[in-house]
Amino acid sequence: MRAAADPIVAIASAPGRGAVGIVRASGRELSALILAVCGRTLKPRHAHYGPFLAADGTPIDHGLALHFPAPHSYTGEEVLELQAHGGPVVLQLLLARCLQALPQARLAEPGEFTERAFLNDKLDLAQAEAVADLIEASTEAAARSAARAVAGDFSRRIDELSGRVVGLRMLVEATLDFPEEEIDFLQKAGARERLAALLPALDAVTAGARQGALLREGLRVVLAGQPNVGKSSLLNALAGAELAIVTPIPGTTRDRVAETIQIQGVPLHITDTAGLRDAHEAADEVERIGMARSWESIRDADAVVFLHDLTRRGEPAYEAADERIAAQLPSAAVLHVFNKADTVAPSGLPEGSIALSARTGEGLEALRAELLRRAGWQAAPEGVVIARTRHLRALAEAREHLVTAIAHADQRDAVLDLLAEELRLAHRALQAITGEFSADDLLGEIFGKFCIGK
């Protein structure tokens, strides 16, 4: 069982070989470790070049050592960083030497450095999560948004909302404490107006958080349709690379082919699936398994691009098969796309559908724009910060309590105790975002997904 006071050590650079590798230690007292490994004391926040010493005094490697005294460090504790050559063996030797030189130290668990930064008030929970999001960002827009969250932009917006809720709580609870004061509290304090003004402010933060969550998580898009309608060609066109095999032979795609692209900085996780047709028409068992996996992907998708072949419109068997497929698709998520517009001029298409040519690229921009629109994406303002589904749930919960609080406020002073309770619950939901109120199991889930050494 780990102890929060134990010094911790880990390799903080990515696995594999590189020019530079980092071993990081954090704890309340690292002077013995510094003297043993570096052979001297280190001036705080200065880079010192020299040997990293083994137990017998011979050098393991030469590199830079940096000492950050508490509380002016990433974790809020003393931190030592050893920057050596980035070979796996060298770093393992340094790691073993640190554990040997400081017997009370142990290997860090995933995310434990950042967890200590949170516990020592160097970061709040939203900022700590954003550190992981910055490391994992798959697009430039996501990285910039995560960096803003690490800097505290999102936390400041939440704190501002929390402060306004606290102000109302103080007024309501003060009145509850002094019931003998016969005043129309809600009217004189302007509580109704202040409470009502909270909703649009909360909605503005929620809208930005939705954009941030989309930047972080992206949109899962599945390309579906009958064999040979151009799904693989469309995947290749969107990705700008020959990812999937394209032939005129029905059933060429037997399994899912996935690729992540970005549109306006939003990651789109696109999956090309096996062509859908009746099971008895499948060429073999492999194709039947492929179709079953296609339906699995469709069930998990945020958007389904149902691809149709313009050259086969009007064929009774083809149209009947399309209708059977459409009946099984989640209608709310389906976008009808008609391919091969370079061969047949599109006319009389259903409202809201898109005509394109995967071969020439005609209509691809319209498809990209429609996918973003369906995802709820708007042109990313500079103020968008990365956010998570957990944050959206907490904001939605806070809004529910504020709506109920407004209903109680409309009943005047008769239900002040219920009004106070709803404000307390709204405040608690907002606090959960920054970690001022957080269950221990939530912290374990969040930091357990970090990389070791961070």
- SS3 string, the chain, reads CCCCCCCEEEECCCCCCEEEEEEEEEECCCHHHHHHHHCCCCCCCCCEEEEEECCCCCEEEEEEEEEECCCCCCCCCEEEEEEEEECHHHHHHHHHHHHHHCCCCEECCCCHHHHHHHHCCCCCHHHHHHHHHHHHCCCHHHHHHHHHHHCCHHHHHHHHHHHHHHHHHHHHHHHHHCCCCCCCHHHHCCHHHHHHHHHHHHHHHHHHHHHHHHHHHCEEEEEECCCCCCHHHHHHHHHCCCCCCCCCCCCCCCCCEEEEEEECCEEEEEEECCCCCCHHHCCCHHHHHHHHHHHHHHHHCCEEEEEEEHHHCCCHHHHHHHHHHHHHCCHHHEEEEEECCCCCCCCCCCCCCEECCCCCCCCHHHHHHHHHHHHCCCCCCCCCCCCCHHHHHHHHHHHHHHHHHHHHHCCHHHHHHHHHHHHHHHHHHHHHHHCCCCCHHHHHHHHCCCCCCC
Kindly tell me if the per-residue pLDDT of 171 is higher than 60.
yes
Kindly tell me if the per-residue pLDDT of 192 is higher than 90.
no
Task: Say if residues 303 and 335 touch (Cβ distance below 8 Å).
Answer: yes
pLDDT digits (tens, 9 = 90+) for 47-58: 999 999 999 999
Question: Considering the chain, what is the average pLDDT of its residues?
Answer: 84
Kindly tell me if the per-residue pLDDT of 267 is higher than 90.
no
Give the pLDDT band (50/70/90) at residue 233: confident
Predicted local confidence at residue 437, as pLDDT: 64
List the single range of 121-130, 410-419, 436-445 with lowest mean pLDDT: 436-445
Q: What mean pLDDT comes out for the span 404-433?
A: 86
Q: What mean pLDDT comes out for the span 372-392?
A: 75
Percent share of the chain, pLDDT over 70? 85
What type of residue is 357? S
Stretch(es) of the chain classified as CATH 1.20.120.430: 130-214+388-435
Kindly tell me if the per-residue pLDDT of 266 is higher than 80.
yes
Kindly tell me if the per-residue pLDDT of 9 is higher than 50.
yes
Kindly tell me if the per-residue pLDDT of 63 is higher than 60.
yes
Stretch(es) of the chain classified as CATH 3.30.1360.120: 8-123
Q: What mean pLDDT comes out for the span 181-191?
A: 60
Predicted local confidence at residue 45, as pLDDT: 95
Give the pLDDT band (50/70/90) at residue 454: low
List the single range of 135-139, 180-184, 236-240 with lowest mean pLDDT: 180-184
Predicted local confidence at residue 382, as pLDDT: 56
Predicted local confidence at residue 182, as pLDDT: 42
Predicted local confidence at residue 38, as pLDDT: 96
Kindly tell me if the per-residue pLDDT of 254 is higher than 60.
no
pLDDT digits (tens, 9 = 90+) for 10-53: 999 988 889 999 999 999 989 999 999 999 999 999 999 999 99
Kindly tell me if the per-residue pLDDT of 258 is higher than 90.
no
Question: Which has more confidence, 170 or 380?
Answer: 170
Count CB-CB contacts under 10 A for residue 207: 14
Kindly tell me if the per-residue pLDDT of 88 is higher than 90.
yes
Kindly tell me if the per-residue pLDDT of 246 is higher than 70.
no
**CATH of region 130-214+388-435, choose from 3.40.50.300, 3.60.15.10, 1.20.120.430, 3.40.50.720:** 1.20.120.430
Q: Which CATH superfamily is domain 8-123 in?
A: Probable tRNA modification gtpase trme; domain 1 (3.30.1360.120)
Kindly tell me if the per-residue pLDDT of 245 is higher than 80.
no
The CATH number of the domain covering residues in 221-375: 3.40.50.300
Kindly tell me if the per-residue pLDDT of 252 is higher than 70.
no
Kindly tell me if the per-residue pLDDT of 448 is higher than 80.
no
Kindly tell me if the per-residue pLDDT of 183 is higher than 60.
no
Question: How many whole angstroms separate alpha carbon 324 and alpha carbon 339?
Answer: 19
Predicted local confidence at residue 247, as pLDDT: 45
Task: Say if residues 326 and 310 touch (Cβ distance below 8 Å).
Answer: no
Give the pLDDT band (50/70/90) at residue 279: low
Predicted local confidence at residue 10, as pLDDT: 95
Q: What mean pLDDT comes out for the span 351-377?
A: 88
Predicted local confidence at residue 383, as pLDDT: 61
Query: Which two three-digit tokens encode residue 62?
Result: 């030469």
Q: What mean pLDDT comes out for the span 422-449?
A: 77
Q: What mean pLDDT comes out for the span 62-81?
A: 96
Kindly tell me if the per-residue pLDDT of 185 is higher than 60.
no
